[in-house]
Amino acid sequence: MELRLGKLPPEILERYLLGMTGAPSKDLAVAPSLGVDFGVVKHGDTRLIVSSDPVTGVKERVGWYAVNVSANDVATSGNRPQFLQSIILLPEHSSVEDVAAMSSEMHKTASDLGITIVGGHTELTPGLRRPIVITTAFAFASAYVTAAGARDGDSVMVTKTAGVEGTAICASESRLVARKMGPKAVAAARGYIDRMSVVDEAVSAYGTGAVHAMHDCTEGGVLGAVYEMSRAAGLGFELREGDVPVGKETEAVCSLLKLDPLRLISSGTLLISVERGREREVADAVREAGSKATVVGTFRKGGRLLVRRGGSVEKVTDAPTDELWKLIGNRGI
């Protein structure tokens, strides 16, 4: 079976990876599971929350991306990330200036989030066309939620808009976008990178006590995140496309490149499963954190359905391939 670009299909993960956890431990509180953003290890009354993530598809501001992607995953527990390690793999012919720029960017980003970098590994690696950075974020906590905690009847809420990260990547790296969109519009779309952190909004939402589960909308976008959370929780869903907010720059980029914003990588968009009737509490808390939250659907028993803007209903039977991989595969960037 030939594999496609991006995340491995759920059935491959479940068959070949998720059960391969080495020696058993009574201290493992959250084991590897489909759609769950982090692992949890018990230590007395304390829980160590751990998550790793790679940055593989970007060339600019790699340090910013690298810190935020793993920090976001830990934050979906409802807790602030506290520590971080990194593995930095650089293409041949990288310069000292490249290393200095990336390390200083990681230092500033981590400092702004209150994260301490505790170590890692950096090397020049043959065969790479662009840097690959893998970060692992950690937090100590006493309580948390996971993506598997969504309940039947919960409202599905998203923060910000769909396709946040993908908009910034396409505007920065697509030659077609650079040619067809005006400099002002391109700059605005590139600026979506500054919306990538979900740490403040995740911690604030969790603080309401109304949140049963959270998930960062990374590869596969909003639709991919809803699918993964539903699989983790053993539920179906109804996602209403017309209710999912999409920024005007995202609409412009996606229209030009023929991409679906719901399937476009979207670190910076937080998916929240909220107790029915308490949506306003969560929206208010997220607003106080400087963001916004919108109700876009429902988790429920039964099938997984995407209600299109025109009213047609589409069954979602598999995790969507991210639109960014389609673009990279076609050499659009």
Assign 3-class secondary structure to 83-149: EEEEEEEECCCCCHHHHHHHHHHHHHHHHHHCCEEEEEEEEECCCCCCCEEEEEEEEEECCCCCHHH
Take residue 320 and report the two structure tokens written for it: 């969507």
What's the confidence (pLDDT) of residue 141? Answer: 97
In terms of Cα–Cα distance, which of 319, 220, 228, 224 is closest to 264?
220
The architecture that CATH gives domain 147-329 is: Alpha-Beta Complex (3.90)
- Long-range Cβ contact pairs of 311-318 (< 8 A, separation 24 or more): 316/223, 316/227, 316/239, 318/9, 318/10, 318/227
- Long-range Cβ contact pairs of 245-248 (< 8 A, separation 24 or more): 245/158, 245/160, 245/161, 245/162, 245/292, 245/294, 246/161, 246/162, 246/163, 247/161, 247/163, 247/164, 247/167, 247/192
d(CA 123, CA 99): 10
Q: Is the pLDDT of residue 331 over 80?
A: no
Alpha-carbon Rg for the chain, nearest whole angstrom, is: 19
Where is average pLDDT lowest: 5-14, 150-159, 254-263? 5-14
Take residue 95 and report the two structure tokens written for it: 């310069």
In three-state secondary structure terms, 62 is helix
Instruction: Name the CATH superfamily, with its identifier, for domain 23-141.
Output: PurM-like, N-terminal domain (3.30.1330.10)
Residue 297 — φ and ψ, nearest 5°? Answer: 170, -160
Domain positions in the chain: 23-141, 147-329
In terms of Cα–Cα distance, which of 183, 63, 193, 238 is closest to 134?
63
Q: Is the pLDDT of residue 132 over 70?
A: yes
End-to-end CA distance of the chain: 27
d(CA 297, CA 180): 34
**Per-residue pLDDT reduced to its tens digit, 216-264:** 999 899 999 999 999 999 999 999 999 999 999 999 999 999 999 999 9
| Mean pLDDT, range 33-42, rounded to an integer | 92
Which run of H or E residues covers position 159? Answer: strand 155-159
How open is the CA angle 287-293-296, to the nearest 5 degrees?
165
d(CA 269, CA 262): 11
Enter the pTM of the model.
0.92
Residue pair 191/258 in contact (Cβ under 8 Å)? The answer is no
How open is the CA angle 94-96-97, to the nearest 5 degrees?
95
What's the confidence (pLDDT) of residue 330? Answer: 61
**Per-residue pLDDT reduced to its tens digit, 159-192:** 999 999 999 989 988 888 888 898 999 999 999 9
Where is average pLDDT lowest: 74-78, 92-96, 322-326? 322-326
| Mean pLDDT, range 117-126, rounded to an integer | 97
